[in-house]
């Protein structure tokens, strides 16, 4: 039988968490004004700086859609062409977000339940020049994982 810690659910929720996380979640919540919180936040920011190679980083609490919006808002300018691969509900938000920021999305729809293929990305990139490409790594609406590393 598979134990609870052995499961990997690629869905938006509920999700399984490790015993260590469950123990941490059973503690009383500290305020963001508490000294322990400041120490934890500093540690997280230090790790983000190290991982990203950036000198300044910050954390924003929000949904995956907010992350999509922030990414597009910081990369796309009016008139920029963006190649948007969609294979589900959440990836399907990218073209709408690109339009909202004045970009011109070229949508490449992949059938629901299928991953985005690196060859399809290469082929589309040969057809035109794009400022950016959007691909959803884990399309939680269909539980499909696309090979982002290969793409």
Distance, CA of 32 to chain centre: 25
C-alpha 24/C-alpha 38 separation (Å) is: 17
* Inter-CA distances, 6 with 9, 19, 24, 107, 140, Å: 10, 11, 19, 37, 19
Instruction: Tell me, yes or no, whether 130 lies in a domain.
Output: yes
Helical H runs in 53-142? Answer: 64-75, 93-100, 118-127
Domain assignment present for 115: yes
| The total number of structural domains that make up the chain | 1
Whether 21 is in a domain gets the answer no
Domain span at residue 135?
Answer: 75-145
**Range from 57-66, 85-94, 104-113, 124-133 carrying the lowest mean pLDDT:** 57-66
Q: Is there a domain that residue 107 lies in?
A: yes
pTM score over 0.85: no
Residue 88: inside a domain: yes
49 occurs within a structural domain? no
pLDDT value of residue 1 = 44
Residue 22 located in a structural domain: no
Question: What pLDDT is attached to residue 11?
Answer: 72
Contact assessment for residue 124 and residue 81, using Cβ atoms and an 8 Å cutoff: no
Using alpha carbons, select from 76, 72, 118 the residue that is nearest to residue 91: 72
């Amino acid at each position: 039988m598979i134990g609870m810690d052995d499961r990997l659910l690629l869905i938006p929720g509920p999700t399984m968490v490790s015993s260590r996380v469950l123990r941490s979640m059973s503690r009383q919540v500290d305020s963001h004004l508490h000294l322990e919180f400041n120490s934890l936040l500093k540690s997280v920011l230090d790790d983000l700086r190290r991982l990203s190679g950036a000198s300044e980083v910050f954390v924003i609490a929000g949904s995956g859609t907010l992350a999509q919006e922030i990414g597009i808002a910081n990369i796309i300018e009016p008139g920029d062409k963006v190649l948007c691969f969609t294979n589900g509900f959440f990836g399907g938000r990218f073209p709408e977000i690109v339009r909202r920021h004045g970009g011109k999305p070229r949508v490449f729809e992949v059938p629901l339940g299928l991953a985005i293929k690196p060859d399809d990305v290469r082929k589309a990139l040969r057809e035109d020049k794009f400022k950016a490409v959007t691909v959803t790594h884990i399309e939680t609406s269909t539980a499909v994982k696309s090979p982002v590393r290969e793409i």
